[in-house]
Amino acid sequence: MVYVGVDHSTTGVKVGILDGDEEQTAFTLDRARLGDGSVTLLDALSERVTTDAIDRAAITYSWGNGIASIQDIERTDNRGIKDHIGAGYELGGGTAAYDELEASSVPAVVIPGVHRELPPLHPYFSHYSALAGGDKVAAIRYAQHRLADETDGEEFIWACASSSCMAGLVSDGALRGFFHWMGLMHGWPDPEALREMDEDRVEDVLMRCGVLHRSGLEFDEIRETPDEQAMEMCYWATVHNIYSLVPFAHETGGGPPEAIALTGRLTRVDEPDLSGRVAETCSDVAPTYRCGEYSSAYGAAHVARDVDRGEPDVLGIPVAEGLA
């Protein structure tokens, strides 16, 4: 049984392939080349697996705030989103990959993002209309898989340190809480950002609220060697997000977290060692474990497998009628 996960991330379109329960391979496709048609998702897949052999695929796309369940791609309107507001893009590599998968014969589902209509969330987290895209749901599903050997995967905090710094709470096996404030490239608007948007008519307001933009740094400047001050800010953002979820772990009835799962490319940097520092700081919360580079892609593949096996929900998020 072959399952495929497709994740539209900041750094590229990532794809993970499961052969049954085993991770077969993962790879990244350049968004610009997908957008101009010089590479295609199905061609890249066919180099690694016969596409007719794919039992199911799952894809994440942008905010994923137009759906509140895991849905068949053919029954999903507007790629599962309400709009691209704040993101600063309309069409690109992720769109090309989505549309290609939708037009193919591969059975596929769309994973919703984290937003106020997601059923398992604690009511507190309905204040913001949307908090993250479906790729973060996929990453949390992978963390649940990763922690199954260490704990039962029912009570944990997942945290990402990357273009965005955010954290999600899983309690009794369901996604109960989520925090997202600032990260390397993305952040929530404040009055300064709203003023810039009003005066400059900028569309990518969320991209102008991350650490890089506020520090006057460009992404290419820190691609190989992360700026020490930027990493310091992302460390504090990660710690902030983790500790902020601890009270909700008790409130939602699951008890204290049994583990912390870290994902995101900044957690794979050796110097400065953000992961080690977070693990030491948060040692009073729970032991910390790291997940790999393709967590969201493999996590989406796990969602595809869950749906194919008839699971009624994933992380408490319902599977649409007719799929389970």
Query: What pLDDT, on the 0 to 100 scale, is given for residue 76?
Result: 96
* 202 assigned to some structural domain: no
Mean pLDDT of the chain: 91
Judge contact between 161 and 266, C-beta under 8 A: yes
* 199 assigned to some structural domain: no
* 192 assigned to some structural domain: no
Query: What pLDDT, on the 0 to 100 scale, is given for residue 12?
Result: 86
* φ, ψ (nearest 5 deg) of residue 86: 90, -20
The total number of structural domains in the chain stands at: 1
- Calpha distance 310→286 (Å, rounded): 32
Q: What is the pLDDT of residues 49-99, one digit of tens each?
A: 999 999 999 999 989 999 999 999 999 999 999 876 655 555 578 899 999
Query: What pLDDT, on the 0 to 100 scale, is given for residue 43?
Result: 95
Among 33-42, 84-93, 99-108, which range has the highest average pLDDT? 99-108
Mean pLDDT of 216-223: 66
* 212 assigned to some structural domain: no
> If DSSP codes are grouped into helix, strand and coil, which group holds residue 22?
strand
For residues 183 and 314, the model is more confident at 314
* 241 assigned to some structural domain: yes
Please name the residue that has the structure tokens 């939708």: 102
Among 61-65, 125-129, 224-228, 242-246, which range has the highest average pLDDT? 242-246
> If DSSP codes are grouped into helix, strand and coil, which group holds residue 149?
coil
> If DSSP codes are grouped into helix, strand and coil, which group holds residue 76?
coil
* 36 assigned to some structural domain: yes
* 53 assigned to some structural domain: yes
- Calpha distance 247→153 (Å, rounded): 19
Query: What pLDDT, on the 0 to 100 scale, is given for residue 8?
Result: 82
Record the tokens describing residue 256, joined without a space.
């204290």
| pTM confidence score | 0.94
* 203 assigned to some structural domain: no
Least confident of 181-190, 214-223, 290-299: 214-223
Judge contact between 14 and 28, C-beta under 8 A: yes
| Residue 225's pLDDT band (cuts 50, 70, 90) | low
- Calpha distance 289→300 (Å, rounded): 20
Query: What pLDDT, on the 0 to 100 scale, is given for residue 185?
Result: 86
Q: What is the pLDDT of residues 110-141, one digit of tens each?
A: 999 999 999 999 999 999 899 999 999 999 99
Nearest of 44, 45, 46, 78 to residue 61 by alpha carbon: 78
Mean pLDDT of 20-28: 94
Mean pLDDT of 142-165: 93
Judge contact between 163 and 132, C-beta under 8 A: no
Residue span of the structural domain in which 34 resides: 2-185+224-318
